[in-house]
Amino acid sequence: MQKAHQILKTVFGFDSFRPLQEEIIINILSKKDSLVIMPTGGGKSLCYQIPALLFDGLTIVISPLISLMKDQVEQLRQIGVETSLLNSSLSQGEYNKNYNSVLNKKAKLLYIAPESLQKNEIISLLKNVKVDCITVDEAHCISEWGHDFRKDYRQLGSFRKGFRSAVCIGLTATATPRVQDDIIKNLNMSGHKKFIASFNRENLFLQIIPKRKPFDQTVAFLNEHKNQSGIIYCFSRKQVESLHEDLSDLGFSTKPYHAGLPDDERNKNQDLFIKDEVQIIIATIAFGMGINKSNVRFVLHYDLPKNIESYYQEIGRSGRDGVRADCLLLFGYGDISKINYFIDQKEDPVERRSAEMHLQAMVQYAETEVCRRLPLIKYFGENYTEDYCGMCDNCTIDEKESVDVTINAQKFLSAIKRTGEVFGVNYIIDVLCGAESDRIFSNGHQNLSVYGVGKELNKKQWQILAHQFIRKELIRRDNEFGSLKLNESANDVLFKNKKISGFIKQPEVSRKKLKITDEGYDKNLFELLRAERKYIADSHNIPPFVIFSDASLIQMAKDFPVNEGEFLRISGVGVNKLERYGKVFIPIIKKYADKYRTGSKSLKIKTRKRGSRIDKPRHIQVGDSYNDGKSIKELEEEFNVKTQTIISHLVRYTAEGRSVRTNGLAEMLTVDKKHHKKVFEHFNMEGTQQLSPAFEKFSQEISYLDLHILKLIYLNNNMKK
Ligand code: ADP
Ligand code: MG
């Protein structure tokens, strides 16, 4: 285990194991089959990757999606681990290279799709090497009870029988016992041990607000998350499309994703999101499987999810890097009826009943007044006993705003009672406000003593209160018909004068609650490092998070590592990353620290000039200044960055639909005119998304900086057309 700790630090760059990782690694190293159940982002991969480096032989990793495999393989290669990948997406040349790295025992890990394991060629390859470990990622795909059943996974049991000396590991984030039993049975796990990690994801901030003007609420939320990656989930394709249109009209960087789009468009949009080229993906539930982008900073539910499992899985896609992520749900009662409508279409009564119960649990969760983690974690069968998490709306609500609403409650409850407990929220409010509606008149309710006694509040304020009375369990709402009924405890308010406190003002997406992370890191330095990360990622055509996680960049912008020793102390920096990227990142940090830090020991940052432009995203500041007449050189000095960083800001500026002046750019190029044309022709054919193919095509003779400048010129020329 000492070796395992060493690898954790030197190869992966992490200081300590996350919960259960160590126990699991010990179990695997002693060749005992292991079933690992951890929530998304819990750190499952490390559990087999460290043993893989310690075993003599090969570790096979079976994974259901090519996109998942590619990112994992890239992440391992980035930290210097020899890794092979065999699937149908490879060119013949690449395939052979990967094949040979297994054959000549160079590769420590092989990522492969389940269907490939039935090919004779692959079987005989594997028979020629020593296989020490068989890892089945997303192991729930083996079970028909799971949500992503894959037929090819069923063959894995007999496949593993061919490798008796290999230990077998199943990994999944699905918690149901039935699925777990299926995995154990199908993989022929014997003498296995089951590891179940806590499903509590402490870094997710959970918030639910009443859905009023969902579009405005969304815009307010997005404005609090400028420059960040996030997902917006909608109920329908139509909603996805219209929200995408409206938000992009306002200048937000969005793309749609749903099953109705052609495959290539869907894949492209996903890719743009993963590469931080597009900030926000607006999607139906079709989006998510196969995404392991670690820097998703928020998930917004525009509509109510059908059940807690989906909700939890969807919010779980944020904050994988352990940095705070914000999860907001807009909760409207209208959504309940929409979902109920679909449930009613189900023919099987058992299925229908089960869907109803799931929906009910979801609604109860949305309405709860206690710490949100209590019902959520309990739902997954876990014993959660904390009563204050400090990371949900209910735990951080500002008590000062709460007022005595006993009289209001009494009026509301008697209106329900007097009208016979058969009407919905809006009708009750109409009665209280003395509305002159036909429905009220035909019921004769204008004659009740409660008619018109609630005029001190407007309709909206009453609605806000009604939600709270439900949450306080004074009343309940019939899910099918929407009618309100009194609970036992209502009597205490009506007859025993029990005091009720609550809020009359609408709780909103508040500034205070939605800080991204702890302050205490330098946002400007973070942006510089992020731009550099993006630049390198684009050059190599890999997602930015594969180079460094947001967590690593934040720590850099907090600790200011200015030499190799200090850089190595950053979580996520191992020896390989130090070697690869230290020489680029350390000078940026050093230069920045020299300019803005007072004294080497103090972490205090000199206060910077604050102008009106300070709140604009960096690339827009750069683009605007450039168009105002500043030269690239001047901008480099002003922002204290390299040429390439300025260029990538301008590229982003352009990619979002603004143009920049192109005179002067061509003069910066070091290649001749003849080459420009060839590169433009290449862009015409292949697009500008990836620069590495161009780099290879021109035998690495055109530098990446030149390619980025050419891309900028090209994009601007195209815009003028
Ligand atoms: P899962 O497969 O369970 O969804 P991953 O294995 O992809 O999760 O890990 C999620 C993130 O957590 C990754 O960015 C990974 O680098 C990070 N991580 C895993 N283990 C540790 C650790 N011990 N210390 C710090 N970060 C870790
Ligand atoms: Mg995983």
In this predicted structure, what is the pLDDT of residue 219?
96
In this predicted structure, what is the pLDDT of residue 602?
41
Among the listed residues 335, 479, 348, 482, the one whose alpha carbon sits nearest the alpha carbon of residue 416: 482
Q: How does pLDDT run across 400-450, given as a tens digit for each residue?
A: 577 889 999 999 999 999 999 999 999 999 999 999 999 999 999 999 999
Of 12, 61, 79, 138, best ligand 1 pocket probe by most atoms within 8 Å of the beta carbon: 12
174: pLDDT strictly greater than 90? no
469: pLDDT strictly greater than 50? yes
| Cβ neighbours, 10 Å, residue 253 | 19
Residues with CB under 6 A from ligand 1: 14, 17-18, 21, 38, 40-46, 292, 294, 320-321, 549, 571
In this predicted structure, what is the pLDDT of residue 612?
35
60: pLDDT strictly greater than 80? yes
Residue 382 CA to ligand 1 centre (angstroms): 22
Nearest alpha carbon, ligand 1 atom 23:
17
Q: Which of 140-144, 189-193, 314-318 has the highest mean pLDDT?
A: 314-318
**719's tokens:** 């815009």
49: pLDDT strictly greater than 90? yes
Please state whether beta strands 280-283 and 204-210 pair in parallel, antiparallel, or not at all (unpaired): unpaired
| Cβ neighbours, 10 Å, residue 402 | 13
- Specify whether the CB–CB gap between 669 and 709 falls below 8 A: yes
Q: How does pLDDT run across 583-633, given as a tens digit for each residue?
A: 999 999 999 988 876 544 444 443 333 333 345 678 888 888 898 888 888
Closest ligand 1 atom number to CA of residue 38: 3
Per-residue confidence band for 170, with pLDDT thresholds at 50, 70 and 90: very high
Residue 40 CA to ligand 2 centre (angstroms): 7
Quote the percentage of the chain above a pLDDT of 70: 94
Per-residue confidence band for 721, with pLDDT thresholds at 50, 70 and 90: low
Residue 567 CA to ligand 2 centre (angstroms): 27
Q: How does pLDDT run across 185-216, given as a tens digit for each residue?
A: 999 998 889 999 999 999 999 999 989 899 99
Cα 133 to its chain centre, rounded Å, is: 30
Q: What domains appear along the chain, each with residue ranges and CATH number?
A: 2-196 (3.40.50.300), 204-385 (3.40.50.300), 403-502 (1.10.10.10), 523-596 (1.10.150.80), 616-720 (1.10.10.1390)
In this predicted structure, what is the pLDDT of residue 511?
40
Nearest alpha carbon, ligand 1 atom 26:
14
Bridge partners, 86 (sequence order): 112
Residue 185 CA to ligand 1 centre (angstroms): 27
Mean pLDDT of the chain: 89
Residue 345 makes CB contacts below 8 A (sequence gap 6+) with: none
Per-residue confidence band for 690, with pLDDT thresholds at 50, 70 and 90: confident
In this predicted structure, what is the pLDDT of residue 515?
39
Of the ranges 64-78, 83-97, 408-422, 470-484, which one carries the lowest mean pLDDT score?
470-484
In this predicted structure, what is the pLDDT of residue 447?
94
In this predicted structure, what is the pLDDT of residue 203?
92
Among the listed residues 618, 564, 562, the one whose alpha carbon sits nearest the alpha carbon of residue 595: 562
Cα 347-349-354 angle, rounded to 5 deg: 115
pTM of the model: 0.73
Residue 18 CA to ligand 1 centre (angstroms): 8
Nearest alpha carbon, ligand 1 atom 19:
43
Nearest alpha carbon, ligand 1 atom 9:
43
In this predicted structure, what is the pLDDT of residue 171?
96
In this predicted structure, what is the pLDDT of residue 301?
98
The tally of CA atoms less than 13 A away on the side-chain side of residue 657 is 8
Residue 86's φ and ψ, nearest 5 degrees, are -125, 110
